[in-house]
Amino acid sequence: MEKDIFISQFLKLFPEFNDRYIEHMEFNQEFLGHVFFGDEVSTHVERLLQEHSDIEQIEKFFSFFEWMALHSDLYIVQILSTTILYNLGGDIDVLYKADRYMGVHTKKLSVEIEDLHTGKHFS
């Protein structure tokens, strides 16, 4: 199943999230991608961007986000756009810092979600 491959790939790249993943599974009895990536990952990345101290880790996350953006599974792309990028866009300073690390496809999704967030398509 794509969800299993997705979270397995994530945990292989970011083993520091293993304990949080186990807690998430115990609490929810299933993997809820939007919840896990919203509560754990996007808040962690936002903190990294605010502190702007671990550039290597930031780049690693955004490389993974670009992989997500290119994925054929809509669920994975939606986690990126409607959870991770939407959350990062809540703080203009964080979004500005994040923009430098975004790949082409991640940036495209970010612009789309910000356009929706600001109501640009409804004016």
Q: What angle do CA 25, 5, 56 make, to 5 degrees?
A: 90
Q: Is the pTM of this model over 0.75?
A: yes
The percentage of the chain sitting over the pLDDT mark of 70, rounded to a whole number, equals 93
- Among candidates 46, 25, 45, which has minimal Cα distance to 35? 25
Specify the pLDDT at position 14.
Answer: 97
How many other CB atoms are there within 10 angstroms of residue 108's CB atom?
Answer: 13
Instruction: Answer whether residue 117 shows pLDDT above 70.
Output: no
Higher-confidence position of 2 and 29: 29
Average pLDDT, the chain: 91
Residue 119 has pLDDT above 90, yes or no: no
